[in-house]
């Protein structure tokens, strides 16, 4: 069992708070992806789990053991670095065997285990080579082999695919997922690439400015983004976000702004409220009964199977994604349709998601309840 519990972890570098009171409970066997833009604190958090960066405050437990003040070498964690950090003066065999050599295992045992790992990762032919004689993908596999060889409590990975070309990255993604399935071990994986996060994670933790924005399965974070940050980070292109007013009209709620009139299918009589309306580009279409957005086409991008149209609604840029051909031309004034269930609402001031509860007159903002454990 290798559950990792992060309890109110903070890391400050002078005036800068890199990690801000983060609580995360990573169950045994999870593939947790720490996702966020550069500078969001995800790598610092991973390094804190590894023990390379001491926390300013908070506690980290591994398998119910407090490891906050335990040096990295005694933490029973393996890490794959972004640079791979393969020891340049050692052969592939000695690189993979290094963790065992440091633990004073017998030569025969080291050799056997290295060969087993090399077999799994298809590195047998390369055991005698030095790291500089390897391609990027091979180096990545050697780094993985060095982590695998000693059966650690959990695997930490710091953007391990970012140095690979696009095709290799796609292939390695599925290999990592396969590896995780086979090992049933805990993976904590740092990336800024939402595709990696969506495809590999069992759970995604989204960070911004050192704070946890949302934790949930890929489906949850994509379908119910907890904040405008999450909504604007995930998706390509990301969710359209429009400043709007929530108004009651004949007992029903509408999100209204210049060029925008979106019925929300909620029966309520509320005072007007400033909100942010979010609609995913793929949930907008050019056909339907009543257009909810009115805009002018500024650019059409051909993605091969689909097209993305960039429009201006009021003074906000809005994207529409749909099957090719959209049959739109620059300058066209069009109405866009969407179903009420595709509307996402966020509080204008806090940016947090607004959820409708029938038993409350007031729409609640509830950041805390969104830290749901994985199902």
Partner 1 sequence: MFVEVVAPAPGSPPPRAARPPLGRRVVAGAQPYLYLAPALALLGVWTYRPLAQTVQLSFYSWNLLPSTPMTPVGLRNYQRLIDLPDLGQAAVRTVVVIVGLLPFSVVIPVLVGLVTRQVRDRARVVYQAMVFAPTLVAPVASAAVWQWLLDPGAGVVNKVLGTRLNWLHETGSAQFAIIVITGWSVLGFATLVVSAGLAGINGDYGEAAQLDGASRGQITRWITLPLLSPTLVFLVLMTVLLSAQWTFPLIDTLTQGGPARATTNVYYLLWDYSFHSYDAGLGAAAGVLLFAAFGLVAAGLVRLSERLSFHDD
**Interface residues toward partner 1, by CB under 8 A:** 50-52, 71-75, 77-79, 81, 83, 85, 87-89, 98-99, 101-103, 130, 132, 146, 150, 156
Please give the C-alpha separations between residue 30 and each of 86, 170, 185, 217, 371, in angstroms, as whole numbers.
Answer: 26, 21, 7, 11, 16
- Report the residue number, 99 or 291, with the smaller CB distance to partner 1: 99
Q: Kind of pairing, strands 252-257 and 77-80?
A: unpaired
Instruction: Look at the block and give the residue holding tokens 């285990």.
Output: 113
**Which residues have CB under 8 Å from 231's CB, separation 6+?**
225, 238, 239, 241, 278, 344, 346
Min CB(78)–partner 1 separation in Å: 6
- Omega before 125 within 30 of 0, i.e. cis: no
- Report the residue number, 145 or 295, with the smaller CB distance to partner 1: 145
Min CB(341)–partner 1 separation in Å: 46
- Report the residue number, 8 or 83, with the smaller CB distance to partner 1: 83
User: For 337-357, what is the HEC assignment?
Assistant: ECCHHHCEEEECCCCEEECCC
Min CB(165)–partner 1 separation in Å: 16
Instruction: Look at the block and give the residue holding tokens 């009651």.
Output: 248
- Report the residue number, 82 or 248, with the smaller CB distance to partner 1: 82
Give yes or no for a contact between 187 and 157, defined as CB atoms under 8 angstroms apart: yes
Min CB(152)–partner 1 separation in Å: 9
Min CB(109)–partner 1 separation in Å: 15
- Report the residue number, 75 or 203, with the smaller CB distance to partner 1: 75
């Amino acid at each position: 069992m290798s559950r990792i519990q992060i309890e109110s972890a903070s890391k400050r570098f002078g005036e800068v708070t890199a990690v801000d009171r983060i609580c995360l409970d990573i169950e045994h066997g999870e593939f947790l992806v720490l996702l966020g833009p550069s500078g969001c604190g995800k790598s610092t958090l991973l390094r804190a789990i590894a023990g390379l960066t001491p926390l300013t405050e908070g506690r980290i437990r591994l398998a119910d053991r407090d490891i906050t003040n335990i040096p990295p070498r005694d933490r029973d964690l393996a890490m794959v670095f972004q640079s791979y950090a393969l020891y340049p003066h050692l052969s592939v065999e000695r690189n993979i065997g290094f963790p065992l050599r440091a633990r004073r295992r017998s030569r025969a045992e080291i050799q056997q285990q290295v060969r087993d790992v090399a077999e799994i990762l298809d590195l047998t032919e390369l055991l005698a080579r030095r790291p500089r004689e390897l391609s990027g993908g091979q180096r990545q596999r050697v780094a993985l082999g060095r982590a695998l060889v000693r059966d650690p409590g959990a695997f930490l990975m710091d953007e391990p695919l970012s140095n690979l070309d696009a095709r290799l990255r796609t292939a390695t993604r599925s290999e990592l997922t396969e590896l995780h399935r086979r090992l049933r071990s805990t993976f904590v994986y740092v990336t800024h690439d939402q595709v990696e996060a969506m495809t590999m994670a069992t759970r995604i933790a989204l960070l911004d400015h050192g704070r946890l924005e949302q934790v949930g399965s890929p489906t949850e974070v994509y379908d119910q983004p907890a904040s405008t940050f999450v909504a604007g980070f995930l998706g390509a292109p990301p969710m359209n976000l429009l400043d709007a007013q929530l108004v009651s009209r004949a007992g029903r709620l509408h999100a209204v702004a210049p060029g925008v009139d979106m019925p929300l299918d909620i029966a309520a009589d509320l005072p007007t409220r400033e909100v942010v309306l979010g609609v995913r580009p793929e949930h907008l279409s050019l056909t339907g009964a009543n257009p909810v957005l009115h805009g002018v086409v500024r650019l059409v991008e051909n993605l091969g199977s689909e097209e993305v149209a960039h429009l201006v609604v009021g003074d906000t840029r809005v994207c529409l994604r749909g099957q090719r051909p959209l049959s739109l031309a620059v300058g066209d004034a069009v109405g866009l349709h969407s179903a009420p269930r595709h509307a996402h609402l966020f509080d204008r001031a806090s940016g947090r998601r607004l959820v409708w509860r029938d038993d409350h007159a007031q729409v609640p903002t509830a950041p805390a309840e969104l830290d749901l454990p994985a199902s």
